[in-house]
Amino acid sequence: MTKSLQELAEFLGARVIGDPAVVVTGLASLDDAVEGEISFLANPRYAPKVAATKASAVVLPPGADSHGRNVIETPNPYLAFAKLLTLFHVAPPEPMGVMDGALVGKNVTIGADITVYPGATIMDGVKLGNRSVVYPGAVLYPGVEVGDDVTIHANVVIRERCIIGNRVIIQSGAVIGSDGFGYAPDNGQWYKIPQIGIVIVEDDVEIGANCAIDRAALDVTRIGRGTKIDNLVQIAHNCVIGEDCMIVSQVGISGSTRLGNHVTLAGQVGVVGHLTIGDNAIVGAKSGIAGSLPAGSQVSGIPAYDHRQWLKTSAVVPKLPDVKKSVSALEKRVAELEKLLQQENR
C-alpha cells in the first residue's frame, strides 16, 4: 500500500507540516525507519531521535521540534500510529465459509461472510454472526451466541449458552464459561454446586490468551463493553466488569466482585470476592485488594492503600537495616546512660 502524507493526514483528521505529496509505503520506529516510511514520537524522552531518523515523515504532537522533517501533527501520536498500523497491515480476511474438516452440529445459524477453519467445532444450536472467524481447535458448545465481526482464535473454548457481542477478539487458549469454583461443605468433603449461569461478553472486548472467565452460579458473569483483558487472567463466577476496563496479565478476581467503568488492574493484582471497585480506580502491580475501593482510588501494596503513601513507604524499606543499626546503637547508649545515672544516685 502507498499513501501520500496528505491522504494519511485526512484519514487521521490531522494536518501536514511540510510536503503533503510525500509518498509513504510503510511504518517503522524512529531507529529503524528508512526513506518511504513514517514513524512517530509519543514520549518526549525520545525527541532527539527525530533529528536522526531516516523516516520520510514523523507523527508529532503540537509544538514538538520537527528538525526539518515532514510531519503529521496530531494531539495523540500513539493513537494515530496505531490507526496507521491498522490501515497498512490489518486487512479483513477473505471469507472462506465453513471449510472441510470443520464440525458443525444441528440447528446452527451461520451469518454471511464467515470463516470456520478445519478442526473447529460448532455444536448444536450455535448462532455465528456475520464476518466472524473461528480458527482451528476452537470449540463452541451448544447454544452459544456469537455476534458480528468476532475473531475466535485457535483452541478457544466457549461453553454452553454463553453470549459473545460484536467485534470481540478472543485469543488462543481462552476459556469462556468454565464452571465457577463453587462447593458446599459436606461432612468434611465438598459437594459441587452446579454452575447454571452464563458469561456475557459485550461489544468490543478483547480477551487475552489462556484467560479463564467462569460462568455464574445462577445468573451472569458480565464483561462490559470495550474492556481489554490481558493474557493469563482469571475472572471468577458472578463478577461484573464495567466498560473500558484494563485488566493486565495474571490478575485474579474472586467471585461476585464488581468493577466500575475505566478501572485499571495492573499485573498480578489479586482481588478478594464480594467487593466493589469504583469507576476510574487504578490498582498498582502485585497489589492485594481486601476491601471495596471508592471511585477514583489509586492504590498499591498488600494490603493495598493510597499509592502515594505506598511510594513513601517503599522508599523507606531499603533503609530499614541501617535504621535498625541506628536504633540498636541508641538503645545501647541509653542503657549505658541509665547505668551511669543509677551509679550517681547511689
Which of 67, 89, 237, 307 is flagged as catalytic?
A: 237
What's the rounded Cα separation, in Å, for the pair 87 and 107? 37
189-197, long-range: CB within 8 Å, 24+ apart, which pairs?
Answer: 193/217, 195/237, 197/221, 197/237, 197/238
What's the rounded Cα separation, in Å, for the pair 23 and 20? 8
Element (H, E) at 86: helix 77-89
Active site residue 153: no
Distance between the two ends of the chain, CA-based, in angstroms? Answer: 98
What's the rounded Cα separation, in Å, for the pair 299 and 339? 47
Cell of 185: 461443605
> Are 59 and 78 contacting, i.e. CB atoms less than 8 angstroms apart?
no
Determine the Cα angle at 298 with ends 294 and 299, to 5°.
100
What's the rounded Cα separation, in Å, for the pair 169 and 181? 25
Classify residue 266 by its DSSP letter. Answer: -
Of the candidates 66, 87, 69, 74, the one whose C-alpha atom is nearest the C-alpha of residue 15 is: 74
In terms of DSSP bridges, do strands 23-24 and 3-4 run parallel, antiparallel, or are they unpaired?
A: antiparallel
What's the rounded Cα separation, in Å, for the pair 162 and 235? 15
Residues 6+ apart with CB under 8 A from 218: 196, 197, 238
Cα–Cα separations (whole angstroms), residue 5 to 67, 120, 197 = 17, 42, 52
Of the candidates 228, 138, 129, the one whose C-alpha atom is nearest the C-alpha of residue 176 is: 138
Q: Mind telling me the catalytic residues?
A: 237
